[in-house]
Amino acid sequence: MSTLRELSQELIEVQRLATDPDLPANALQDTLDGMGGMFNEKAVSVVHVITNSGSDIAEIDAEIKRLTDRKKSIKNAQDRLREYLRFNMDATGTTSIKSPLFSITLAKGRDIVVIDNADSLPDEFVNVKTTVTPDKAAILKALKEGPLPGAHFEKSLSSIRIK
């Protein structure tokens, strides 16, 4: 039986392997196979890795949200400054500003289409999109009653539940 210290060291190694993208896929399996102790101890160690990595995922998600919000804020500030500059150049009739680093040009507006009522447009000016997707719930129900052309049963992989 492994000591708590040995199990802790093994757990640290398993966590390192589980999060190292450069190691081959079977390295984690080899480490688990080489660990001393009973199968249940190994299973508990694996669940510890799963549980501990869950907090990492939550922290990464929070950081992604923070950076996404920051990006949106910076983008909105850029858009407001562009609109401010465009409005004032348009109001003063300024079409070009030169500087040593860049030049600013106020381009003329282009024609754009504004749809007032899409339903009143002639058919030749409207695109119709249709999507066809199988109703898997209805197909499953029908397959339980008997064979169905174009579909069949398969067993999914077993799953792990940790409570």
Q: Check residues 47 and 6 and name the one with the higher pLDDT.
A: 47
Q: What angle do CA 61, 10, 4 make, to 5 degrees?
A: 110
Q: How many domains does the chain have?
A: 1
Asked if the structure places residue 100 within a domain, the reply is yes
Host domain of residue 96: 4-116
Asked if residue 126 is part of any domain, the answer here is: no
User: Looking at the domain assignment, is residue 146 inside a domain?
Assistant: no
Taking only the tens place, the pLDDT of each residue in 64-89 is: 999 999 999 999 999 999 999 999 99
The secondary structure of 88-120, three-state, reads: HHHHHCCCEEECCCCEEECCCCCCCCCCCCHHH
pTM of the model: 0.57
Q: Which of 87-91, 152-156, 157-161 has the lowest mean pLDDT?
A: 157-161
pLDDT per residue over 97-135, tens digit each? 999 999 999 999 898 999 999 999 999 999 999 999 999
- Tell me the pLDDT tens digit for each residue of 16-70: 777 777 877 777 777 767 665 556 777 787 788 888 888 889 999 999 999 999 9
